[in-house]
Amino acid sequence: MTISYQLKRADFIFKNENDWEEVLSKNLSRTPSELINELISSELKGRGGAGFPTGLKWKLTAEVEDSIKYVICNADEGEPGTFKDREILSMVPFKVLTSMAICGYVIGAKEGYIYLRGEYFFLRPELNKAISEFEYYCKEINFDFSIRIFMGSGAYICGEETALFESMEGKRGEPRNKPPFPSNSGYMAKPTVINNVETLAHTYTIFKYGAKRFYDLGVQYSRGSKLFSVSGDTPKPGIYELELGMSLADFVDEFGDGDTKAVQVGGASGFLVPRKRFNETAIGFQGKLTGISLPTGGSMMLFNSSRSMFNVLDNYLEFFREESCGQCTPCRVGCQQLLKGIKAVKRGEKNAKYLDKLLRLTETMQVTAKCGLGQSVANSFSSIVENFREEMIY
Amino acid sequence: MYPVSDLIRNLADQHGRNRHNLLPILQGVVEQEKYLSEYSMIEIARELDLPASEVYGTATFYSFLEHKKMGKYIIRVCKTITCSMKGKNQVLLAIQEMLKLDVGETTPDGTFSLLQTNCLGFCHKAPAMLVNNEVFTDLTPEKVRDILSAYLKKQKEGVSHDN
């Protein structure tokens, strides 16, 4: 499939290189601080959506003194519109395992876990096979590192890192207060590095080709390439690795069906961008000097003019209402009231001004909710209600 | 099939009896029993020396850990945005008509349960559903009828084989 010039296609992640043994043993002979510096200079940021600098995460965890530490690969991919992590784990599992082991070496951890969402249970047999082969090689080169799969059971919130720890500890997946951060107190209150599947796949690229190769891709503050999960009203849904920093207009030129009305960037917890803003919106992390820059875990959902934005918002809110863990009031009650509220406006039981009250409620949630779930409901809610207000009412 | 208490003891032997082994044990019981009965939860609490309320708390948090009796095949149709846009409702209707059951119900013979679920991660091949752990994508009413017929056939053969 051809991709236009403006969208720079990259091909690192799915390239089948079959050289993980070499990459692993080569990097295990370097010093931990060398590896951390390599990662920091690549400016890789977490690919799960939050965008925390990966090198810094490893550095902070490496600096904490403790005889027991953990490496966790977050494969609880639950954001609507995201499906890249499954593809990475089924196509190039050894890249992820290798990066986990290198991370273990850097921070001083002997145990790694892959937290795999329950919906991806079917991946487990193949992944276990890969893990046995991997551990066998580690033993051969006298490197002490084991990896186990921990299955989730259908809870979106467990993708939040501290909720994931709670879940692994046998509790309800309710997020913890931060601080302490995982680098000090993560799984079993031990220092823990937790990285998204794709982040680990990128660190493989960086440790194989060097930081510069990665850094040369993308734009300032948003270095490297990123996998995009493209779905919705598009003639070519699928997974694409593209350089960061592209404009949304170019993206829509390539993937739209000619009638794209809006694009949801970053899944239900991300932002909806209407057609009139395509030109000024770039895809990358915050900090770009001109225009709006939207971070994303890679979910890109396209909607054409046949879609009702009310139905879209209704679907998101239903999702959040069900997936809210219920621990903090702003999120638990907020999600219910937002859903009730837009339905009441649509039915004419409340007048249109009520939407402004709901917008103020999302502002409250953004400030007071305990974790990213409750805080980010405001993103999709306000971007849809502000841009498609008439569709909410009539 | 083992009685539940044996199953729970085996699972505890296999995974361990600490709090952090609870989820794999709950999952193991659901895998065989299809749900967690009150009895199972109390047994697990006894085996792990935990308050039963703690086990109940964890068990009821996760949508894949059912706590009411389910059919042999649990159908979970994805209802999140892309699947909804690509015809999830027609697929759901086809299933309901064919199996004569509503969302949340189980067929009287205990073969199928029908549920809706949140994003399965197959938005590029929507609509999608899970039958137990198996994924089916790009569904249409015709396709879903064929899939269920195959399950029904398998079930019938299984039953006559048992006899």
CATH number of the domain where residue A28 is located = 3.40.50.11540
CB contacts, 8 Å: B26 with chain A? 153
Structural domain of residue A123, as residue ranges?
20-215
**What integer pLDDT is reported at residue A4 of this predicted model?**
52
Tell me: do A210 and A315 sit in the same domain: no
Q: Flag if B124 and A325 touch (Cβ within 8 Å).
A: no
Look at residue A222 and tell me if it is in a domain.
no
> Quick check: A28 and A98 in contact, CB under 8 A?
no
- Name the pLDDT band for A1 (thresholds 50, 70, 90): very low
Interface test with A, best of B25, B30, B83, B118 (most A CBs within 10 A): B118
Look at residue B68 and tell me if it is in a domain.
no
Tell me: do A207 and A335 sit in the same domain: no
Q: Flag if A170 and B18 touch (Cβ within 8 Å).
A: yes
CATH of the domain at A369: 1.20.1440.230
Interface test with B, best of A68, A171, A308 (most B CBs within 10 A): A171
Tell me: do B115 and B47 sit in the same domain: no
Q: Flag if A311 and B20 touch (Cβ within 8 Å).
A: no
Which ipTM score applies to this complex?
A: 0.95
Q: Final residue of a domain: which of A168, A190, A215?
A: A215
**What integer pLDDT is reported at residue B1 of this predicted model?**
56
Look at residue B19 and tell me if it is in a domain.
yes
Check whether A295 has a pLDDT greater than 80: no
Whole-prediction pTM value? 0.95
d(CA A315, nearest CA chain B) in Å? 6
**What integer pLDDT is reported at residue A288 of this predicted model?**
45
Q: Flag if B82 and A119 touch (Cβ within 8 Å).
A: no
d(CA A312, nearest CA chain B) in Å? 7
Higher pLDDT, A290 or A371: A371
Is B122 an 8 Å CB contact of chain A?
Answer: yes
pLDDT digits (tens, 9 = 90+) for A138-174: 999 999 999 999 999 999 999 999 999 999 999 999 9
Tell me: do B152 and B81 sit in the same domain: yes
Q: Flag if B121 and A170 touch (Cβ within 8 Å).
A: no
Q: Final residue of a domain: which of A182, A197, A215?
A: A215
Higher pLDDT, B1 or A126: A126
Split into its structural domains, chain A has a count of 2
What A18-23 contacts at long range (C-beta under 8 Å, 24+ apart), as own/partner pairs, is A19/A208, A20/A94, A20/A95, A20/A97, A20/A98, A20/A134, A20/A204, A21/A137, A23/A98, A23/A204, A23/A207, A23/A208
d(CA A285, nearest CA chain B) in Å? 24
Split into its structural domains, chain B has a count of 2
**What is the crossing angle of helices A329-347 and A309-323, to 10°?**
150
**What integer pLDDT is reported at residue B142 of this predicted model?**
98
List the single residue in A120, A154, A238 with the smallest CB-CB distance to B124: A238
Tell me: do B92 and B142 sit in the same domain: yes
Tell me: do B121 and B147 sit in the same domain: yes
Structural domain of residue B147, as residue ranges?
73-162
Tell me: do B87 and B141 sit in the same domain: yes
Tell me: do B153 and B86 sit in the same domain: yes
pLDDT digits (tens, 9 = 90+) for B4-63: 999 999 999 999 999 999 999 999 999 999 999 999 999 999 999 999 999 999 999 999
Query: In B, residues 32-71, which contact A (CB 8 Å cutoff)?
Result: 57-58, 61-65
Partnered with residue A115 across adjacent β-strands are: A74, A150
Mean pLDDT (chain A, rounded) = 94
Tell me: do A65 and A195 sit in the same domain: yes
Q: Flag if A173 and B61 touch (Cβ within 8 Å).
A: yes
CATH of the domain at B107: 3.40.30.10
Look at residue B64 and tell me if it is in a domain.
no
Our CA dihedral for B141, B142, B146, B152, rounded to 10 degrees, sits at 50
**What integer pLDDT is reported at residue B65 of this predicted model?**
97
Look at residue B34 and tell me if it is in a domain.
yes
Tell me: do B85 and B136 sit in the same domain: yes
List the single residue in B18, B63, B81 with the smallest CB-CB distance to A312: B81
Look at residue A278 and tell me if it is in a domain.
no
Tell me: do A179 and A322 sit in the same domain: no
pLDDT digits (tens, 9 = 90+) for B111-147: 999 999 999 999 999 999 999 999 999 999 999 999 9
Token reading at A56: 């810094």
Phi–psi pair at A260, nearest 5 degrees: -70, 125
Tell me: do A202 and A345 sit in the same domain: no
List the single residue in A154, A169, A268 with the smallest CB-CB distance to B19: A169
Q: Final residue of a domain: which of A215, A239, A272?
A: A215
Q: Which secondary structure element, helix H or strand E, spans residue B151, and what is its range? A: helix B141-162
Tell me: do A209 and A334 sit in the same domain: no
Look at residue A275 and tell me if it is in a domain.
no
Tell me: do A211 and A318 sit in the same domain: no
